[in-house]
């Protein structure tokens, strides 16, 4: 039976669109960073994630040498053979287990920060690889029929109060459209306001497009700007987030193409 931590890792990898091995490496690196801060030695520390137990094993590695110059990183051939017999040879590496249960709360916080950083870096690399050759492309959304009680978005934070249609737009917090706007902002389609329905994800937002059937796939959607007699300004989004309009516009990432209206061809 798969251990709970491994199940969590695979679920997170699926949600973030990254490989589970990337998260495992991040966990190993995090424990290694925390261990170095705790032990404060010159030892060659090494970590290995045990997928069966869900534990990260910590080792101090030493090279077998004829004469020891650095006891923290080397072990003599004689001593190694006393431990492992004639199988021990010069230039081999031996692992000595070390405790991780002594790392403490501060080390755990350090490990958490490293994991988050590594996962964010992996997300950015995937985003860049997917979109760096697609600047200027027009991305189409889709419209789906929802029945009463159907949910949209991560965490099912929104459920259809009645039968409606939901538009899925290919923009999210990976583009700089803030996650804090989940269920708190509108989108303009065909000159009308439609509310966000559910949590803003990295690549998509979902919009309650109503039951009239007036919203169709391929229609332009305006998140900041004007459409017909309606408009949504950066100031409106800023108020919803408790910030200023400059933070909204400066937060738009390189994934969003910049096209200057009226610029020479």
Residue pLDDT tens, the chain, 265 long: 567 778 888 887 877 778 889 889 988 998 998 899 889 989 999 999 988 888 899 999 999 999 999 999 999 999 999 998 988 999 999 999 999 888 877 677 777 787 878 887 887 777 667 656 655 555 567 888 898 999 988 888 999 999 999 999 999 999 999 999 999 999 999 999 999 999 999 999 999 999 888 888 888 899 999 998 999 999 999 999 999 999 999 999 988 887 776 655 5
Q: What is the reported pLDDT for 125? A: 77
State in words which class domain 4-131 has: alpha beta
Q: What is the reported pLDDT for 225? A: 93
Q: Give the pTM.
A: 0.50
Question: Domain 142-250: what homologous superfamily?
Answer: Lyase, Ornithine Decarboxylase; Chain A, domain 1 (2.40.37.10)
Structure-token pair, residue 50? 């045990």
Domain boundaries, the chain: 4-131, 142-250
């Amino acid at each position: 039976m798969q251990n709970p931590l491994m199940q969590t890792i695979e679920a997170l990898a699926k949600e973030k669109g990254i490989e589970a091995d990337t998260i495992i490496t991040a966990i190993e690196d995090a424990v290694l960073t925390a261990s170095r801060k705790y032990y404060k030695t010159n030892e060659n520390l090494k970590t290995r994630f045990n997928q069966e137990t869900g534990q990260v094993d910590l080792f101090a590695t030493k090279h077998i040498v004829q004469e020891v110059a650095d006891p923290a990183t080397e072990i003599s051939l004689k001593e190694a053979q006393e431990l492992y017999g004639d199988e021990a040879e010069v230039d081999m590496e031996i692992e000595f287990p070390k405790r991780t249960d002594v790392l403490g709360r501060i080390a755990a916080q350090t490990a958490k920060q490293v994991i988050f950083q590594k996962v964010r870096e992996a997300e950015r690399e995937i985003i860049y690889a997917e979109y760096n050759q697609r600047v200027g492309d027009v991305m189409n959304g889709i419209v789906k029929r929802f029945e009463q009680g159907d949910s949209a978005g991560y965490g099912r934070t929104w459920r259809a109060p009645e039968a409606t249609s939901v538009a899925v737009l290919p923009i999210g917090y990976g583009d700089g459209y803030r996650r804090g706007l989940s269920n708190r902002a509108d989108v303009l389609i065909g000159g009308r306001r439609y509310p966000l329905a559910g949590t803003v994800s990295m690549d998509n937002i979902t919009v309650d497009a109503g039951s009239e059937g007036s919203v169709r796939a391929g229609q332009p959607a305006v998140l900041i700007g004007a459409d017909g007699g309606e408009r949504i300004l950066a100031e409106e989004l800023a108020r919803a987030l408790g910030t200023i309009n400059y933070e909204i516009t400066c937060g738009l990432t390189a994934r969003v193409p910049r096209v200057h209206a009226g610029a020479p061809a």
